[in-house]
Amino acid sequence: TQDPTANIIKLPNVSASIPQLQAAIAELQSKGYDVPDYPEEPKNDAEKELQTRYAKCLGSAVNPVLREGNSDRRSAASVKKFAQKNPHRMMKPWPAGSKTRVAYMSDNDFYGSETSVTFDKDTTISYKFVGNDGSEQILKANHPILAGEVVDSSSMSMAALREFFAQQIEAAQKDGILLSLHLKATMMKISDPYIFGQCVTVFFKDVFEKYGADFDKIGVNVSNGLGDIYAKLDRLPAAKREEIEAAIMDTYKNRPALAMVDSRNGITNLHAPNDVIIDASMPVVVRDGGQMWNLQDELQDTLAVIPDRCYATIYQTVIEDCQKNGQFDPATMGAVSNVGLMAKKAEEYGSHDKTFYAPGDGKIQVVDDATGSVVLEQTVEKGDVFRSCQTKDEAIRDWVKLAVTRAKATGVPTIFWLDPKRGHDAQIIAKVETYLKDYDTADLDIRIMTPDEAMVISCERSRRGEDTVSCTGNALRDYLTDLFPILELGTSARMLSIVPLLQGGGVFETGAGGSAPKHVEQFLKEGHLRWDSLGEYCALVPSLEQVANSTGNETAQLFADTLDEAVTSYLSNAKAPSRKVNEIDNRGSSFYLGLYWAQALAAQDKNAELKAKFTKVAADLEKNEAKINEELLAAQGAPVDIDGYYKPNVEKVTAAMRPSTTLNAIIDAM
């Protein structure tokens, strides 16, 4: 990412939770790799050090490494045009009298406690706990800070959070609607699993009061959800295990129904922290008319619990818009693209190493090591979550530059979603206003609005078929680039995701992978891979364009132009994978993309050598179309063995993904 010629295409990664990490470790061990178990509860310094090393793999560990730039996410013109002509059919109407709403805390959350400061020179800072009893503990020492960097601190009270959860459980039961919890336990890997665990213990309060000692004995970690209890119950005598299982089932009789992840197998929202992830789950709530699936496999209104107010209110704003105006129409709605502040581990998504559970009652302080002065401070009680974020000046300057670039390119309102009542946002607003003065914005419509106001105007414009550019921080980038694409296109995997790197190169991301586990499950079970590689095809176009622009390589530009034509043909001929076995899947889709690309290269007149070469390839593919499809479909309908999940056997995967000998011969002959 530091090379000015860097050109990286990034596929979706596993945003790993602890259960997924443990599964990957077990798979590696079964293949003979000498890797140690993950120590959930470290008993000595060696295990603590091991836990710290493994923690680097949790969450979307690869993203902050690759994302050395800010984010430009939008639908390709051909994709948006196709979506309007062929609107997806997943939208469900909003019922009259919908009771769905978002519940969030009124105080003692990260939003309410946030304080922020901008440093005027390079320094280092330390994080220190000072107990009411006079004790002191260094939580993190000598953390480097650059001049112009914004650093903030916030905390969430666990007592207030638990009381809030109890109130929402009661409210959902009273209204007869589903209780659902929406967090980002994958990326916010320190704070959100912990918050999730608090909800589990409040919901199953009686069970934990009665059997807490048993759970401690068998090493239950509530942050891993109800599933962790079930996974470890076999460590208890059979009678005790059955008693606890019965107590868990009894709890459901006196509680609101939970939103289900897998109703057939009884998997609830509270089984695992990574099953319901806010950026993927809340857009689906909006898409499904404000409803989620219940135990009877029916859609039902829900109380969507999002404890922290920083971003919860935007979802309430969308819900109110739909309750007032009805469902959005993909055939007519405008596009909401995004310019996201992401570079240098900006904001919450870089906070993991500065997130702590308060070791006692007292204060957690941020101290400027150069002066010894306390620059930020949070009053905490034992168990509260303290979080500190940092945002580098270089990242903010580049973000403003990218926003102006997109405003000029689109000519549509470009809105910074920033709340002056938030400590962090107040600092960012001051910088945005300053850096905008470096550009001629006289003919541009650039505004700064609170997230709620920005959401209102974006929804209004979208309903009128008008486009809007949203300029947001890192978390809202993540949330909005799922919300609007899922409503507009049916999936966020069809978005262009471009990261112009600070040093001059580019990262081209290929959509969302949240549904990938279900796709792999189906592939292993019945040999049908329904993953749509449109995101990969779309990412390859700007990647090739970057080569052309940076080197003057006309052939690269020709490949980009013809691939763009091929993508249009792929969409207009409806060659995306089917969800059903024995119909076209990813392999058939890849064949058609290759066919259309070869046809486009054969039809062009800018490069005679390529025209001649691909005229033959296109003819061979056209002539063998029926035979290739027959061979690809013959590979479906039976279980597939690829010898692994996280580390499958390369030869077996290759054989499974290239089952057409006819297609292979044509491609290999090139």
CA–CA distance from 467 to each of 87, 319, 446 (Å)?
17, 20, 14
544-557 pLDDT, tens digit per residue, is 999 999 999 999 99
The SS3 call for residue 141 is strand
Nearest-angstrom CA–CA distance, 160 and 147: 36
Looking at the DSSP bridge assignments, the partners of residue 385 are 156, 357
In a domain, residue 601? The reply is: yes
CA–CA distance from 462 to each of 86, 413, 442, 488, 628 (Å)?
17, 12, 25, 9, 42
Token pair 């076999």 is at which residue?
234
Nearest-angstrom CA–CA distance, 451 and 334: 19
Measured in whole angstroms, the distance separating CA 177 from the mean position of its chain's CA atoms is 26
Q: Which residues contact 44 (CB under 8 A, 6 or more apart)?
A: none
On whether the CB atoms of residues 272 and 227 are closer than 8 A, the answer is: yes
**Beta strands at 299-305 and 178-181: parallel, antiparallel or unpaired:** parallel
Give the domain extent around 650: 521-669
Angle of helix 474-489 relative to helix 278-287, nearest 10 degrees?
A: 30
State which residues of the chain have pLDDT below 50: none
Whole-number pLDDT of residue 120 = 96
The SS3 call for residue 430 is helix
Amino acid present at 170? E
Whole-number pLDDT of residue 513 = 65
Nearest-angstrom CA–CA distance, 155 and 356: 9
Alpha-helical regions (H) of 34-148: 45-55, 62-66, 77-85, 110-113
Nearest-angstrom CA–CA distance, 17 and 189: 7
Amino acid present at 594? G
In a domain, residue 479? The reply is: no
CA–CA distance from 165 to each of 198, 250, 295, 358, 668 (Å)?
8, 19, 21, 20, 59
Whole-number pLDDT of residue 510 = 84
Whole-number pLDDT of residue 121 = 96
On whether the CB atoms of residues 24 and 16 are closer than 8 A, the answer is: yes
282-308 pLDDT, tens digit per residue, is 999 999 999 999 999 999 999 999 999
Q: Which residues contact 296 (CB under 8 A, 6 or more apart)?
A: 263
Burial class of 253 by CB neighbour count within 10 A (0 to 12, 13 to 18, 19+): exposed
User: CA-based angle 599:604:606, to the nearest 5?
Assistant: 145
Q: Residue 249's CB: how many other CB atoms inside 10 A?
A: 10
Q: Residue 606's CB: how many other CB atoms inside 10 A?
A: 13
DSSP class of residue 265 equals G
DSSP structure string for 285-308 = HHHTTSEEE-TTS-EEEEEEE---
Alpha-helical regions (H) of 350-501: 393-410, 423-436, 451-463, 474-489
Nearest-angstrom CA–CA distance, 604 and 425: 50
Whole-number pLDDT of residue 529 = 97
In a domain, residue 655? The reply is: yes
**Beta strands at 468-472 and 336-340: parallel, antiparallel or unpaired:** parallel
In a domain, residue 251? The reply is: no
Nearest-angstrom CA–CA distance, 491 and 474: 20
DSSP structure string for 483-537 = HHHHHHHS-GGGEEEEEEBTTS-EEEE----TTHHHHHHHHHHHS-----THHHH
In a domain, residue 586? The reply is: yes
Whole-number pLDDT of residue 17 = 83
Q: 355-386 burial, b if ≥16 CB within 10 A, otherwise e?
A: bbebeeebbbbbbbeeeeeebbbbebeebbbb
Q: Which residues contact 163 (CB under 8 A, 6 or more apart)?
A: none
SS3 content of the chain, % helix, strand, coil (to 5): 50, 20, 35
Number of separate domains in the chain: 1
On whether the CB atoms of residues 274 and 17 are closer than 8 A, the answer is: yes
Nearest-angstrom CA–CA distance, 268 and 383: 26
Range 312-315, long-range pairs (CB < 8 A, 24+ positions): 312/102, 312/104, 313/102, 313/104, 313/451, 313/452, 314/451, 314/452, 314/455, 314/476, 314/479, 315/102, 315/282, 315/285, 315/286
On whether the CB atoms of residues 129 and 137 are closer than 8 A, the answer is: yes
Nearest-angstrom CA–CA distance, 120 and 370: 12
Token pair 């052309």 is at which residue?
548
Compute the radius of gyration of the chain from its Cα atoms.
Answer: 26
In a domain, residue 608? The reply is: yes
Whole-number pLDDT of residue 514 = 65
In a domain, residue 489? The reply is: no
In a domain, residue 613? The reply is: yes
Nearest-angstrom CA–CA distance, 29 and 543: 37
Burial class of 136 by CB neighbour count within 10 A (0 to 12, 13 to 18, 19+): exposed
On whether the CB atoms of residues 445 and 412 are closer than 8 A, the answer is: yes
Nearest-angstrom CA–CA distance, 161 and 658: 52
Number of residues that this document lists for the chain: 670
